């Protein structure tokens, strides 16, 4: 029997409830596919600040580095909004990404036909959308120095080296090669020097991938095009901050932010997490949608553990559950057969697995 060590970080807010559901699904995968998961739980974010005074305790960092993969929920919440920046929950997550060197964040966006009426966008605009956002994750303005908040002035630095752009662009091109061979690089090269270098690197690399059709788009236009005609995109390659914002916008194409999974790759250990946050507005009510986290667990099986059949089984079980009309509150619409809470929708997914 194969054995995998999985570091589990539930985090704050709805993080706890959604990761619990993903673990139920993985436990069923374990018995169906004869795989053993050794789950070890670690603290990060607000709960870690409360317990240890540190958003990323050493034990968590060490445990994740020694694991085969990290399954993560979400961190943050109003309780920790006013603590010093280096002690904020988000600082813990940024440090974890940096320490694990997961510079490539893959965020697939697709729409299930059953959810066409759940999106605020028109069905004919979103039917058939299947795109991938490749977001740079360990550089750019979220990490750049110098940065400071003074009394009457504050600043951040958006910085990328040629090497950082080259390695993420390579992931973008390689992803396009196994998809529809279209790559749209999103930047702000009309204003930012850092984007001019980004564009230069992407153009130079395009010579190594002659089959890939490359285009460039400014971030402001990309935000508009994503809502106007999302079907024009195959792979979107972009920087840390632009990818953060664009993929939240893209989530509405899929019906709800509670549907979008992600994989953060590049180092030895990958991190798998939903794209959404800790949703303090609904935390503790048991109504959050766990599907993004369950699909993140499927990405973990696929990318880190190479358990492709198991990953596909989860994806099919989710699809079947939606086909049968079961929905969480965020997706509830006239087509819903039953509106389920967090546990009930997972019960249905388990039945279909």
Query: Does 82 carry a binding-site annotation?
Result: yes
Nearer to ligand NAD, 266 or 277 (CB): 277
Name which of residues 323 to 352 contact ligand NAD (CB under 6 A).
330
42 included as an active-site residue:
no
Q: Are 39 and 8 in contact (CB under 8 A)?
A: yes
Q: At how many degrees (to 10) do helices 89-99 and 58-65 cross?
A: 30
Judged by CB under 6 A, the residue of 289, 304, 321, 352 near ligand NAD is 289
Query: Does 97 carry a binding-site annotation?
Result: yes
Residue among 20, 180, 248, 347 flagged as catalytic: 248
Query: Does 244 carry a binding-site annotation?
Result: yes
Task: From 97-105, 116-124, 228-236, 282-290, give the range in contact with ligand NAD by CB under 6 A.
Answer: 282-290
Q: Is 276 in the site for ligand NAD (CB under 6 A)?
A: yes
Task: From 158-166, 196-204, 211-219, 272-280, give the range in contact with ligand NAD by CB under 6 A.
Answer: 272-280
Q: Per-residue x/- marks for ligand NAD, 2-21, CB under 6 A?
A: ------------x---x---
Query: Does 147 carry a binding-site annotation?
Result: no
Query: Does 199 carry a binding-site annotation?
Result: no
Q: Is 55 in the site for ligand NAD (CB under 6 A)?
A: no
Task: From 69-77, 116-124, 219-227, 333-341, give the range in contact with ligand NAD by CB under 6 A.
Answer: 69-77
Q: Report d(CA 238, CA 343) in Å as an integer.
A: 35
Structure tokens at 231: 């079907």
- DSSP, collapsed to helix, strand or coil, labels residue 326 as strand
Q: Is 77 in the site for ligand NAD (CB under 6 A)?
A: yes
Burial track 9-18 (b if 16+ CB lie within 10 A, e otherwise): bbbbbbbbbb
Among 231, 118, 114, 213, smallest CA distance to 172 is for: 213
Q: Report d(CA 107, CA 296) in Å as an integer.
A: 10
Q: Is 258 in the site for ligand NAD (CB under 6 A)?
A: yes
Q: Report d(CA 256, CA 117) in Å as an integer.
A: 11
244 included as an active-site residue:
yes
The neighbour count for residue 30, using CB atoms within 10 Å, is 17
248 included as an active-site residue:
yes
Q: Is 75 in the site for ligand NAD (CB under 6 A)?
A: yes
Element holding 163 (H helix, E strand): helix 162-177
Q: Report d(CA 37, CA 40) in Å as an integer.
A: 9
Q: Count Cα atoms within 13 angstroms, Cβ side, for 233.
A: 35
Residue with tokens 């060590």: 5
**Contact residues for ligand NAD, defined by CB under 6 A:** 14, 18, 74-77, 90, 93, 257-258, 273, 276-282, 288-289, 292, 330
Would you name the residues annotated as active-site residues? 142, 188, 220, 244, 248
């Amino acid at each position: 029997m194969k054995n995998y060590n999985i570091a589990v970080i539930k985090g704050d807010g709805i993080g706890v409830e959604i990761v619990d559901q993903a673990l139920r699904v993985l436990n069923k995968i374990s018995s169906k596919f004869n795989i053993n998961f050794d789950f070890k739980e670690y603290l990060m974010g607000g709960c870690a600040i409360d317990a240890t005074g540190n958003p990323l305790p050493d034990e968590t960092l060490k445990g994740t580095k020694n694991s085969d993969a990290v399954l993560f929920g979400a961190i943050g919440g109003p309780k920790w909004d006013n603590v010093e920046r280096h002690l904020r929950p988000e600082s813990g997550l940024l440090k974890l990404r940096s320490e694990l060197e997961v510079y490539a964040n893959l965020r697939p966006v697709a729409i299930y036909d059953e959810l066409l009426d759940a999106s605020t966008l028109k069905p004919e605009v979103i039917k058939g959308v299947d795109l991938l956002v490749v977001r740079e994750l360990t550089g750019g303005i979220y990490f750049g120095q110098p940065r400071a908040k003074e009394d009457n002035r504050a600043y951040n630095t958006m910085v990328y080296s040629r090497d950082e752009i080259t390695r993420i662009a390579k992931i973008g091109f390689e992803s396009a090669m196994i998809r529809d061979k279209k790559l749209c690089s999103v930047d702000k090269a009309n204003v930012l020097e850092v984007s001019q270098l980004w564009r230069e690197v992407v153009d130079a690399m395009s010579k190594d991938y002659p089959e890939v059709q490359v285009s460039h788009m400014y971030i402001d236009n990309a935000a508009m095009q994503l809502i106007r005609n999302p079907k024009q995109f195959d792979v979107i390659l972009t920087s840390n901050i632009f990818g953060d914002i664009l993929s939240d916008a893209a989530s509405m194409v899929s019906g709800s932010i509670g549907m979008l999974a992600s994989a953060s790759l590049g180092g030895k250990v990958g991190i798998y997490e939903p794209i959404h946050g800790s949703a303090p507005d609904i935390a503790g009510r048991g109504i959050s949608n766990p599907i993004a986290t369950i699909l993140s667990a499927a990405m973990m099986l696929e990318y880190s553990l190479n358990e492709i059949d198991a990953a596909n089984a989860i994806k099919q079980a989710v699809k079947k559950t939606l086909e049968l009309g079961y929905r969480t509150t965020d997706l509830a619409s006239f087509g819903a057969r039953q509106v389920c809470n967090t546990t009930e929708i997972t019960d249905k997914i388990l039945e279909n697995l």
